[in-house]
Each structure stands twice: as C-alpha cells, then as structure tokens.
Amino acid sequence: MMSTSGVVKSVPTVIHARITGTGSYLPGAPVSNDDLRTRGIDTSDEWIVERTGIRTRHLADEGVTSSDLALEACRRALEAAGRLPDEIDLIVYATSTPDFIFPSSAAILQHKLGIKNGGAAFDVQAVCSGFAYGLTVAEKFIRSGSHRRALVVGAEVFSRILDWNDRGTCVLFGDGAGAVVLEASDEPGILASTIHADGSYSDILSVPGQVSHGKVIGSPFLQMDGKTVFKFAVKVLSEAAIEVLDAAGLNTGDVDWLIPHQANIRILQATAKKLEISEDKVIVSVDRHGNTSAASVPLALDLAVRTGKIKRGDTLLLEGVGGGFTWGAVLLKF
Ligand code: ACO
C-alpha cells in the first residue's frame, strides 16, 4: 500500500487455514450388539440401540496401537489432499489412549509416516473434545505463519480402558481414527473456533488411575456418571455452537452440516433440537462405530465426505465434549 509520503508499507496478508483432505480408519470387522451378548455381556441390541443409537463398534486386535490406526487415517487424508508425508510440518494428535506414557504418539506417527523434515509433533489430551482442541491449536500455528501444513488426527483404542464387566460403559465405546490435512490458504477455511474446560467436573467421566513405581494406582478403567454427562454435554455443545456462530456473524440457518461428537444419538438429537437445527442436517455415524472419543468427529466428517454428503464449500459446525470436562466448537467452510 502506498502511503501519502510515498513510502511503501507492507500490509500483512491474512493467512487462513483450510481442510484439504480427510481420512479415517476403523480396525477389523464390525462387532454388533448381539456379538457383545455372545461374548458374555448381559445386554441386548434393543437396550443399546434405544438408549444410544449404537449398532456396531470396531475393536483393535491385541498389539495394535492408537498410532497404527492414526497411520491409516493419515495416509488416506494425505492422499485426499494430494500431499506427501514430508510436506507436513506439524502433527497435532488428539488421544487419551496413547501408545506409551512417552514418547508422544504424534512423534511415533511422524516416524511411521516417514517424515524426516524435523517438523513439530505433539499430543493433545482433551478426551472426546480432543479433535476440536487439536484443530483450534493447529489453526493458530498456521495463521501465525510458523507452519504451513498440518495433520490433525484423533485416534483411540478405548477398548483398552473399558471394564468389560461393566455393561453400563463397555457397550458405548469403540476404537478408530480420523484425520485431516489443514493447510495455509488465501481462502477462508476455519471461520471461528472456541475451546473450554471446567476441571470441577473431572469426576463425572474419568479413568482415575496413575502409573507409579511399576504399578497402576487407582482404576485403569473408564467410569462415568451417564446422566450428568448427558445433561452437561447438551448444554455446552449448544453454547459453544452459538459462540462460534456469533463470532463469525452467522446463525444456525447458515450451517449446512452439524457434526457433533458422536457419543450417543440422543445427545446429538437433543443438541440439534436446542439449536433448532433440523436432524437431517446432523451427521450421524455413531451407529457404525460407537463413541471413539477424539476420533469421532474426524471419523464422522470423513465418512460423510466420502459418501458425497458433505461437499466443498459447505459450512460445517464441528463440536466436541468430553472428560475434564472439556468442550469446543469449530465453524468452517469446507
Ligand atoms: N444393557 C442392558 N441394561 C443396561 C445396560 C446395558 N448395556 N447398562 C445399564 N443397564 C441397565 C441398568 O442396570 C439399569 O437397570 P435397573 O433399572 O434394573 O437398575 C437400567 O439399565 C437403567 O440404567 P441407567 O444407567 O439409569 O440408564 P440410562 O437410561 O441413564 O442410560 C446411558 C445410560 C445410555 C449411559 C445414558 O445415561 C447416557 O446416554 N448418558 C450419556 C453418556 C454418554 O454418552 N457417555 C459417553 C461418554 S461421554 C462423552 O463422550 C461426552
């Protein structure tokens, strides 16, 4: 821009962050509700479907880790984006079931992808909000100009932290991974994002075990106050949605697709109702894979992209809520 004195001033160009490819992966064959009964769990297809909408989930074989699932999802996302692994300079990996205490699953994934460019790679721990957190963080890196191409991944082997004798929780979850390539762009992608936490609710959903002196102290299994989680989830998902819509100057009528955390069909329906978004605009895949925690939103996104439901240019509202309690929303042009 030319100033009145004739001095040329550089005007900073806005860097946007856009999703250029999606991918997902579900391990093995689907395990039906009746299969769970066959495995000795005192439940029924009717109870699970009526309360949760879940019909099948996928369970990783022994020895298969979160980063193995992430690897497949990332390969598919890279292929969809037309990118090579070494073009990625940032990996943000959301998980509550990492391969190890350390190193991070992000660093392990970087190696498995064969990336040797020394880019950044780290894990984000926000349980079922992990993908909303990861996308929000990665967008800030890209907008700052420090990084240009990110893989944002959610990958979980929740089957490892379930008490298979607790029918109140074990039927709800599954294993899987989802990923997106997020790139610097001249065109708007992410329009607004928000992330929150309130640690005073940490007791209502947790795995309260610690590893200490070679032993697990406390419980290594997921525990949940289902009814409180339900109410809290619907409340904060609705609030976060309004927050990002307001920030972008849009309203619910502008949303082509709502993609909430795939925990339970009734949470999805109640959230859509509260937001006055019709149910046919809600992406639902929880019936296929159960609650896959941090993987659920990118999984639902990718499945809907690949079936042609979600198209380029659509306005998407992605939302997460989970243990911590944590929650967040990302509004974007796809
Ligand atoms: N199969 C059959 N019966 C069951 C099962 C099962 N898998 N699990 C519990 N029951 C029984 C209980 O024993 C109880 O029997 P009783 O009345 O004889 O004592 C009865 O069903 C009702 O149990 P509730 O726990 O009161 O069932 P509720 O109607 O609250 O539904 C549920 C439980 C589905 C977990 C519900 O609370 C819910 O949807 N909560 C949301 C939590 C959620 O989705 N969490 C996911 C993780 S959180 C997140 O991702 C944000």
Q: How many Å lie between the centroid of ligand 1 and the Cα of residue 168?
A: 5
Interval 255-297: pLDDT, tens? 999 999 999 999 999 999 999 999 999 999 999 999 999 999 9
Locate 333 and state its tokens. 């042009």
230 lines ligand 1 (CB under 6 A): yes
Query: Is any ligand 1 atom within 6 A of the Cβ of residue 54?
Result: no
pLDDT in tens, 241-253: 999 999 999 999 9
How far, in Å, CA of 4 to CA of 19, rounded?
40
Helices (H) and strands (E) in the chain, counts: 10, 15
CB of 225 closer than 6 A to ligand 1?
A: no
Is the CB of 171 within 6 Å of ligand 1? yes
Q: Is 117 a catalytic residue?
A: no
Residue whose CA is closest, atom 51 of ligand 1? Answer: 322
In contact, 71 and 157? CB cutoff 8 Å: no
Say if pTM beats, i.e. exceeds, 0.75: yes
pLDDT in tens, 1-43: 444 456 766 666 799 999 999 999 999 999 999 999 999 999 9
Percent of the chain with pLDDT over 70: 97
Q: Determine if ligand 1 sits within 6 Å of the CB of residue 65.
A: no
> What is the pairing mode between strands 31-32 and 16-25?
unpaired
- Which residue, by CA, sits nearest to atom 36 of ligand 1? 226
The vertex-41 CA angle with 37 and 46, nearest 5°, equals 55
- DSSP 3-state of 93: strand
Q: Cα of 135 to ligand 1 centre, how many Å?
A: 31
Q: Are 94 and 292 in contact (CB under 8 A)?
A: no
Residue 196 is among the residues annotated as catalytic for this protein = no
Instruction: Using the atom order of ligand 1, give the atom closest to the CA of residue 170.
Output: 7
CA distance 329 to 136: 9
What does the pLDDT read at residue 8?
66
**pLDDT at residue 133 tops 80:** yes
Mean pLDDT of 128-152: 97
Whole-number pLDDT of residue 2: 41
Pocket test for ligand 1, best of 44, 158, 229 (most atoms within 8 A of CB): 229
Residue nearest to atom 13 of ligand 1 (CA): 168
Give the pair of three-digit tokens for residue 103.
């190193």
> Environment class of residue 2 by beta-carbon count within 10 Å: exposed (0-12), middle (13-18) or buried (19+)?
exposed
* Distance of alpha carbon 185 from alpha carbon 14, whole angstroms: 9
Taking only the tens place, the pLDDT of each residue in 294-311 is 999 999 999 999 999 999
pLDDT in tens, 108-121: 999 999 999 999 99
Is 133:193 a contact under the CB 8 Å cutoff? Answer: no
Q: How far is the CA of 47 from the centre of ligand 1 (A)?
A: 9
Is the bond preceding 173 in cis, omega lying within 30 degrees of 0? no
- Is 128 marked active-site? yes
Which residue, 48, 25, 45, is CA-closest to 35? 45
Average pLDDT of 84-97?
Answer: 98
